Structure 1
Amino acid sequence: MFARFSTHAGALTLVGASLSIATPASAGIGDLLVAPTRVVLDGRRGTEVILNNIGDDVATYRVTAELRRMTADGKLVDVPTPSDADKIAQEMVLFAPRKVTLPPNQPQAIRLSARVPQGVADGEYRIHLLFRAIPPAQPQVATPVQKVEGVSFRLTPIYGVTIPVIVRLGNLEATAAISNVHKASVEGQPVIAMDIDRKGARSTFGEVRVMKAGVSDPIAVVRGIAIYTEINRREVLVPVDPKLAAQASGAVTVQYVEPTDSGPVMLAETSATLR
């Protein structure tokens, strides 16, 4: 699985300016592919994240560790005051290099490992790695000048991809349940809304499928649904293709499926009637 600079992938971060950007990073900053988009470590083996510059120009990226907390609607917000577990996670996860310059179509491995201090309790610890493009010293295209009460300044958007890095210590279990399944609309787009409850010592991650009897493929699906340990319930919205809107009624089966090394595992399943 790859993440790239885009506004629809859910992995785009804009740093240093409060703006909504509706286009990918420009060639002057560089386009970045990141794989994988989620890392789970057990404290024994390390792994790698591969960066690939798919832009037309040389680009430089800085890698930093961030702390994020999930809200009940699935958003990730900055952590203003780190907890003890947050501080342990920051010290535990090691990564290098922290700055790379990539020519076009040139991959680069970021090495990741977890050094577990003695006496750390079993549990799940998490940071988020931010891969942030560094703008060139002399931008190819001048940014517009903004004026506020006689003061002029330029806004330079800095793009970044954020991925979670999770360290799991011990034999951690989790269960999930689906409830409150109903149809809704978000900005005119039909969706199937639901709540997913999580219990246990670890987070869950997977895809939500809405199945209809007699139809082989899901009539709606959303991937990459995580429920982190700081919340026990998350609201999930599953977009419905307008072409399949007529099928999104009546009896359906909703599944929350987690990928594992040995194959997909059903975390939760329920039947519902959509009206």
Structure 2
Amino acid sequence: MHTFFKIVILVTLGLIVAAQSYASLLISPVRTVLSERERTQIITLINTGNETRSYRVEWRQLMAVPEGGYREYTEEEKKRIAGLERIARVTPKQVSLQPGQRQSVKILLRKPENLAAGEYRSHLSFVALPLNTAPENNSGESSIKLQLLMSYSMPVIYRAGSVIVNPEITNLSLVHIKESGVTNIKVDFYHDDLFSTHGRLVAIWTPKNGTPRQVGLLNGYNFYPETKNATIQFPWKDFKLAPGSLEVRYEGQGEYHGLLLAQKTLTITQQMINSVK
């Protein structure tokens, strides 16, 4: 069997948009970049629920993993890797929002002299504090109600030095999910950059002797410097296996708007189709 088509059971997709709602908290934007010209950024929080909620605002050090998502820094990594929290200040450190109320959180860059070139990133986390509820039980005594502390995190980035990025799409393949019948486009990335990239993945299908059409889109994909290799999957809309060519373009968004960051084409022949039937 050719390697362009693989079978899996489950795939997890990530999608980032300009504003995101987590339970009763609306956060906008969900990613921000500080610069020499814009040393201050404002994050807007809105309580979309029907209860007053409080949130602790704090920094977290999260490492990107190749298959997508993040993990916490180890203690050794915290000592070795310079996070943004060392050169940025956030205020306020805690907010309380009534239903429908909004609050601004300010991030201020405090860049020291002779800062080494590279990317400085930390995640700003909004930790939902427990509601002040202590219901009484049938005996009239207060009972303890266990509440999970939910945390919502967003990346905040500052880049020092000349920003040069050269991400590469090393391989394209198709992944069919038996249980759902969905076919995903699998994109393998590689880079050796000091800086991350941010953009959208656009998939264009051109059938043999046919007209090109967009068959897939994934917005807000981040490729971070700590991961040399990464893999992402997103669905092919109305997939039908046929001869033709599939082009995937990694197009810049945000500070990379208007740039084509990477592209690659997968050609599907009749011989390849016959091999997977």
Per-residue deviation, 1:135: 1.9
Alpha-carbon distance in 2 for matches of 1:124, 1:255 = 24
Alpha-carbon distance in 2 for matches of 1:180, 1:61 = 42
Q: What corresponds to 2:140 in structure 1?
A: none
1:192 aligned residue (163, 185, 208): 185
Alpha-carbon distance in 2 for matches of 1:248, 1:125 = 45
Per-residue deviation, 1:78: 0.4
Q: What corresponds to 2:247 in structure 1?
A: 253
Q: What corresponds to 1:3 in structure 2?
A: 20
2:204 aligned residue (177, 195, 211): 211
Q: Normalising by the residue count of structure 1, what TM-score does the alignment of the two structures yield?
A: 0.79
Q: Which has the larger radius of gyration?
A: 2
Contact preservation (8 Å) 2:83, 2:122: no
Between the aligned residues of both structures, percent identity stands at 25
Q: Which amino acid aligns with 1:192?
A: I
Instruction: Give the SS at the match of 2:191.
Output: strand
Alpha-carbon distance in 2 for matches of 1:207, 1:263 = 10
Instruction: Give the SS at the match of 2:192.
Output: strand
What do the CA deviations read for 1:137-163 (whole angstroms, capped 9, x no partner)?
Answer: 2178x9xxxxxxxxxx96522222210
Per-residue deviation, 1:190: 2.0
Contact preservation (8 Å) 2:172, 2:187: yes
Per-residue deviation, 1:105: 1.6
Alpha-carbon distance in 2 for matches of 1:139, 1:180 = 55
Q: What corresponds to 2:224 in structure 1?
A: 228
Q: What corresponds to 1:71 in structure 2?
A: 65
Query: For structure 1, which segment, 232-241 or 76-85, has the greater mean C-alpha deviation from structure 2 after superposition?
Result: 76-85
Alpha-carbon distance in 2 for matches of 1:192, 1:168 = 31
Q: What corresponds to 2:151 in structure 1?
A: 160
Q: Which amino acid aligns with 2:215?
A: I
Alpha-carbon distance in 2 for matches of 1:87, 1:94 = 15
Q: What corresponds to 1:103 in structure 2?
A: 98
Q: Which amino acid aligns with 1:64?
A: E
Per-residue deviation, 1:203: 0.4
How many residues of Structure 1 are paired with residues of Structure 2 in the alignment? 238
Contact preservation (8 Å) 2:198, 2:254: no
Distance 1:93 1:247, change over 3 A: farther
Instruction: Give the SS at the match of 2:81.
Output: helix
Structure 1 regions of 5+ residues with no counterpart? Answer: 6-24, 26-30, 143-152
Contact preservation (8 Å) 1:55, 1:105: yes
Instruction: Give the SS at the match of 1:90.
Output: helix
Alpha-carbon distance in 2 for matches of 1:249, 1:38 = 39
Q: What corresponds to 2:234 in structure 1?
A: 238
Distance 1:223 1:249, change over 3 A: farther
Q: Which amino acid aligns with 1:49?
A: I
Q: What corresponds to 2:8 in structure 1?
A: none
Alpha-carbon distance in 1 for matches of 2:82, 2:170 = 34
Per-residue deviation, 1:247: 6.6
Q: CA RMSD of the aligned region, Å? A: 2.5
Q: Which amino acid aligns with 1:127?
A: S
Alpha-carbon distance in 2 for matches of 1:263, 1:249 = 33
Contact preservation (8 Å) 1:3, 1:161: no
The answer on 1:269 being equivalent to 2:269 is no
Per-residue deviation, 1:172: 1.3
Contact preservation (8 Å) 2:165, 2:197: yes
Contact preservation (8 Å) 1:67, 1:86: no
Contact preservation (8 Å) 1:52, 1:108: yes
Q: What corresponds to 2:7 in structure 1?
A: none
Structure 2 regions of 5+ residues with no counterpart? Answer: 1-17, 138-143
Distance 1:190 1:90, change over 3 A: same
Alpha-carbon distance in 2 for matches of 1:119, 1:228 = 23
Q: Which amino acid aligns with 1:103?
A: Q
Alpha-carbon distance in 1 for matches of 2:74, 2:242 = 41
The answer on 1:170 being equivalent to 2:187 is no
Alpha-carbon distance in 1 for matches of 2:256, 2:221 = 19
More strand per residue: 1
Alpha-carbon distance in 1 for matches of 2:149, 2:183 = 33
Distance 1:261 1:124, change over 3 A: closer
Contact preservation (8 Å) 1:43, 1:168: no
Q: What corresponds to 1:125 in structure 2?
A: 120
